[in-house]
Amino acid sequence: MLAAAQAASTAPLLWAQLLGTARRGMATSLLRVPPPQGLLRPLAVPERLLLGPGPSNVPPRIQAAGGRQLLGHMHPEVLQVMDEIKAGIQYAFQTQNRLTLAISGSGHCAMEAALFNLLEPGDTVLVAINGIWGQRAADIARRLGANVYELLKPPGKYFTPQDIEQGLVQHKPLVLFITHGESSTGVLQPLEGLGELCHRHGCLLLVDAVASLGGAPIFMDQQEIDVLYSGSQKVLNAPPGTAPISFSERAREKLLKRKMKPLSFYLDMGWLANYWGCDGEPRRYHHTAPINSFFSLREGLAILAELGLESSWEQHRANCTQLCQGLIDLGLELFVKEEKARLPTITTVRVPEGYNWKDITAFLMDSHGVEIAGGLGPTVDKVLRIGLMGCNSTGANVDRVLRALQDALNRCHRSRLRHGNTQQAKSQWKEAGIARGMEERAVLSRYETWLKTPSLITPIAWPLSSFPSSGPRAC
Ligand code: PMP
Task: Summarize pLDDT for 396-422 with one digit per residue, the tens.
Answer: 999 999 999 999 999 998 876 655 555
Instruction: Tell me the C-alpha distance between 420 and 447, whole Å.
Output: 10
Helix (H) or strand (E) holding 155: none
For the chain, report the end-to-end CA distance as a whole number of angstroms.
Answer: 75
Peptide bond connecting 217 to the previous residue in cis, omega within 30 degrees of 0: no
Q: Which atom of ligand 1 is nearest to the CA of 232?
A: 15
Residue 349 pLDDT > 50: yes
- The structure's pTM equals 0.85
CB 327 within 8 A of CB 364: no
Strands 124-129 and 147-152: parallel
At residue 469 the predicted structure's pLDDT band, cuts being 50, 70 and 90, is: very low
Q: Which atom of ligand 1 is nearest to the CA of 108?
A: 16
Percent of the chain with pLDDT strictly greater than 70: 86
Among candidates 288, 317, 293, 205, which has minimal Cα distance to 251?
A: 205
Residue 447 pLDDT > 90: no
* DSSP codes joined into one string, 276-311: TT-SSSPP---S---HHHHHHHHHHHHHHHHH-HHH
Percent of the chain with pLDDT strictly greater than 90: 81
Residue 224 pLDDT > 50: yes
Instruction: Tell me the C-alpha distance between 418 and 425, whole Å.
Output: 10
Among 150-154, 357-361, 459-463, which is the least confidently predicted range? 459-463
List residues near ligand 1 (CB under 6 A): 53-54, 106-108, 133, 179, 181, 183, 208, 210-211, 231, 240, 475
Q: Whose CA is nearest to atom 2 of ligand 1?
A: 210
Pocket test for ligand 1, best of 127, 188, 210, 234 (most atoms within 8 A of CB): 210
Strands 99-103 and 243-247: antiparallel
Q: What is the mean pLDDT of residues 218-245?
A: 98
Q: What is the mean pLDDT of the chain?
A: 90
Instruction: Tell me the C-alpha distance between 48 and 387, whole Å.
Output: 14
Distance 308 CA to ligand 1 centre (A): 24
Write out pLDDT tens, residues 5-24.
Answer: 454 444 545 555 545 555 55
The whole-number pLDDT of residue 33 equals 95
Write out pLDDT tens, residues 27-41.
Answer: 568 999 999 999 999
Distance 350 CA to ligand 1 centre (A): 21
Residue 229 pLDDT > 50: yes
At residue 428 the predicted structure's pLDDT band, cuts being 50, 70 and 90, is: low
